[in-house]
Amino acid sequence: DSGVTQTPKHLITATGQRVTLRCSPRSGDLSVYWYQQSLDQGLQFLIQYYNGEERAKGNILERFSAQQFPDLHSELNLSSLELGDSALYFCASSVTSGTSTDTQYFGPGTRLTVL
């Protein structure tokens, strides 16, 4: 158990819908990262928040957005869902914004299926 929690574990929805994935980082961690794992794209970095502020952005679609709240939990919002958005979405957390000794700990993931 990494200490990072993600809810829900599974999510099945229809095209065009909107969903919210939730992540609680390990106690004391200030950074939250979101990654998408799909069969065709592999594991891709989406976005990083550090202490409530966006820190780095990867290949995140405009239909996707994220935020980190004052209690440091984070939510990833996916809207106008398409079949290709079906994937495993991981959250990871770390203590700092990305200094040399920083290590990311991953949650169990949320499996999103878009029908």
Helix (H) or strand (E) run with residue 21 in it: strand 19-24
Backbone angles phi, psi at 106, to 5 degrees: -100, 145
User: Whole-number minimum distance, CB 42 to other proteins, in Å?
Assistant: 5
Closest distance between other proteins and the C-beta of residue 20, in Å? 19
Structure tokens at 7: 């809810």
Q: Which of 31, 74, 76, 85 binds other proteins (CB under 8 A)?
A: 31
CB 92 within 8 A of CB 32: yes
Q: Smallest distance from the beta carbon of 27 to other proteins, in angstroms?
A: 17
Q: Which of residues 93-112 bind other proteins (CB under 8 A)?
A: 94, 96-109
Interface pick for other proteins out of 22, 26, 55, 73 (rule CB under 8 A):
55
Contact set for other proteins, span 3-22 (CB under 8 A): 4
Count Cβ neighbours within 10 Å for each residue of 34-48 and write b for 16 or more, e otherwise: bbbeeeeeeeeebbb
For the CA atoms of 115, 64, 29, 103, the dihedral, rounded to the nearest 10 degrees, stands at 80
Provide the minimum distance between the beta carbon of 84 and other proteins in the complex, in angstroms, as a whole number.
Answer: 18
Residues that bind other proteins (CB under 8 A): 2, 4, 31, 33, 35, 42-45, 48, 55-56, 58, 90, 92, 94, 96-109
